[in-house]
């Protein structure tokens, strides 16, 4: 597929206006009944289905965010009927959010992104009535999959069987982590308290920021917008938060338990302010946070290698579970 920035006019607005056209042309995926479906890679299936998940979110769910104003995503516009399945015409977010995220975020921008994330999660807290897509290998026909992922994100264990097999072959290096891998995956898959919709890929490359006020103008609150919803789906909100901090935040802002807790409390306080949390306490968040940290380490160990903060925290979490006799 291709992504284009296009300028369009309408009868009611003759001034050219920028839009983003996402034209999706993946090769057709074989159905599960065909022999070729059984030989296609899990990662390729995941990518094919992810386009359908994004289309479902943009068409059916993104409008729920527009009324909040503070959790910005691109508005969706109509396309010709023959292109409903292969094109998304979206608002160009760079008009109001022209600043791309730096490679490592300063603390102020980290807070801004966390507030966006909390608003997104609060909107879909305890969601119901949303169609859910199972893991790639369980989808009967990838060409007709409809909904968001039953488990959001691209690294949870059900979508990473190949990497997990590789991890098990290196048991000596990750012996401290492997005993907890399957129990954590089950907790993240089934825990109901704190369940929401995840963005699924919260990182700097998918975040845009507003400009600061010009000199002489009144100060204004920095805001951000996120895009790329190919891995949107159900999950515990801390999964998004761990992924974001583990990939994008400045490591110096994560050093020490007080710094880490401070960022977690920004998230918790914002979710608490925006929605009824139904028994979701700070203690519950901390417990789920530990699951998510260890799970993210499992993914990196099988795929990416090591990252200082995540590995240190995952080792601390697993050591605590060792002392307590389990999760």
Given a cut of 70, whether residue 17 has pLDDT beyond it is yes
Average pLDDT over residues 187-207: 96
Residue with tokens 């805001």: 223
Average pLDDT over residues 1-21: 91
Of 182, 232, 160, nearest in space to 202 by CA: 232
Q: So what's the pLDDT on residue 73? A: 97
Which range among 54-58, 113-117, 220-224, 316-320 shows the weakest confidence by mean pLDDT?
Answer: 220-224
* CA distance linking residue 226 with residue 243, whole number of Å: 14
Residue with tokens 């929605």: 275
Q: So what's the pLDDT on residue 159? A: 79
Strands (E), the chain: 2-10, 13-23, 76-77, 87-91, 99-100, 132-133, 148-149, 195-198, 207-209, 224-226, 233-236
Q: How confident is the model at residue 10 (pLDDT cuts 50, 70, 90)?
A: confident
Q: How confident is the model at residue 70 (pLDDT cuts 50, 70, 90)?
A: confident
Strand order, beta sheet including 13-23: 2-10, 13-23, 87-91, 76-77
Given a cut of 80, whether residue 64 has pLDDT beyond it is yes
Strand order, beta sheet including 148-149: 132-133, 148-149, 233-236, 195-198
Which range among 5-14, 50-59, 217-226, 261-270 shows the weakest confidence by mean pLDDT?
Answer: 217-226
Q: How confident is the model at residue 36 (pLDDT cuts 50, 70, 90)?
A: low
Q: So what's the pLDDT on residue 277? A: 82
Strand partners, 100: 208
Given a cut of 90, whether residue 302 has pLDDT beyond it is no
* CA distance linking residue 270 with residue 265, whole number of Å: 8
Model pLDDT for residues 80-97, shown as the tens digit of each residue: 888 888 899 999 999 999
Strand partners, 226: 207
Q: So what's the pLDDT on residue 305? A: 54
Of 129, 128, 131, nearest in space to 146 by CA: 131
Q: How confident is the model at residue 25 (pLDDT cuts 50, 70, 90)?
A: confident
Find the angle CA(191)-CA(194)-CA(197) to the nearest 5 degrees: 95
Average pLDDT over residues 40-46: 83
96-324 falls under which CATH superfamily? Aminoglycoside phosphotransferase (APH), C-terminal lobe (3.90.1200.10)
Q: How many CB atoms lie within 10 A of CB 192?
A: 8
* CA distance linking residue 281 with residue 119, whole number of Å: 17
Q: So what's the pLDDT on residue 170? A: 66
Contacts 24+ apart (CB under 8 A), 258-267: 260/313, 263/110, 263/111, 263/114, 264/289, 266/111, 266/114, 266/115, 266/118, 267/114, 267/117, 267/118, 267/237, 267/241
Q: So what's the pLDDT on residue 96? A: 95
Average pLDDT over residues 120-139: 93
This prediction's pTM: 0.91
Model pLDDT for residues 245-290, shown as the tens digit of each residue: 999 999 899 987 789 999 999 999 999 999 888 899 999 999 999 9
Region of 223 (left: φ > 0; alpha: ψ -120 to 50; beta: rest) is beta
Q: So what's the pLDDT on residue 166? A: 75
Model pLDDT for residues 107-127, shown as the tens digit of each residue: 999 999 999 999 999 999 999
Query: Residue 259: helix, strand or coil by DSSP?
Result: helix
Question: Which residues, at least 6 apart from 324, have a Cβ–Cβ distance to it below 8 Å?
Answer: none
CB-CB contact of 31 with 140 (8 Å): yes
Q: So what's the pLDDT on residue 165? A: 78
Model pLDDT for residues 151-171, shown as the tens digit of each residue: 999 988 887 877 777 777 766
């Amino acid at each position: 597929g291709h992504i284009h920035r296009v300028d369009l006019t309408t009868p009611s607005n003759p001034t050219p206006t920028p839009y983003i056209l996402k034209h999706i042309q993946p090769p057709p995926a074989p159905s599960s009944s065909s022999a070729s479906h059984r030989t296609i890679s899990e990662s390729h299936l995941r990518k094919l289905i992810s386009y359908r998940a994004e289309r479902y979110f943009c068409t059916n769910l993104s409008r729920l965010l527009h009324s909040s104003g503070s959790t910005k995503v691109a508005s969706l516009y109509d396309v010709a009927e023959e292109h409903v399945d292969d094109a998304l015409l979206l608002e160009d977010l760079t008009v109001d959010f022209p600043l791309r995220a730096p490679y490592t975020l300063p603390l102020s921008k980290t807070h801004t992104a966390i507030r966006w994330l909390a608003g997104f999660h609060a909107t879909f807290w305890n969601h119901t009535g949303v169609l859910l897509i199972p893991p790639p290998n369980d989808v009967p026909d990838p060409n007709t999959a409809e909904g968001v992922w039953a488990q959001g994100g691209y690294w949870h264990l059900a979508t990473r069987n190949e990497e997990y097999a590789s991890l098990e072959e290196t048991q000596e290096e990750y012996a401290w982590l492997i005993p907890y891998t399957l129990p954590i995956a089950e907790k993240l898959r089934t825990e109901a308290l704190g369940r929401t919709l995840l963005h699924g890929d919260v990182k700097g490359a998918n975040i845009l920021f507003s400009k600061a006020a010009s000199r002489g103008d009144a100060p204004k609150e920095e805001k951000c917008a996120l895009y790329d919803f190919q891995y949107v789906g159900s999950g515990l909100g801390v999964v998004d938060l761990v992924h974001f901090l583990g990939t994008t935040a400045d490591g110096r802002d994560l050093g020490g338990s007080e710094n880490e807790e401070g960022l977690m409390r920004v998230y918790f306080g914002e979710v608490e302010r925006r929605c009824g949390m139904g028994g979701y306490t700070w203690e519950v968040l901390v417990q789920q946070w530990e699951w998510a940290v260890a799970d993210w380490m499992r993914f990196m160990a099988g795929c990416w290698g090591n990252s200082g903060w995540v590995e240190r925290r995952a080792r601390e979490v697993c050591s605590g579970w060792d002392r307590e006799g389990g999760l």
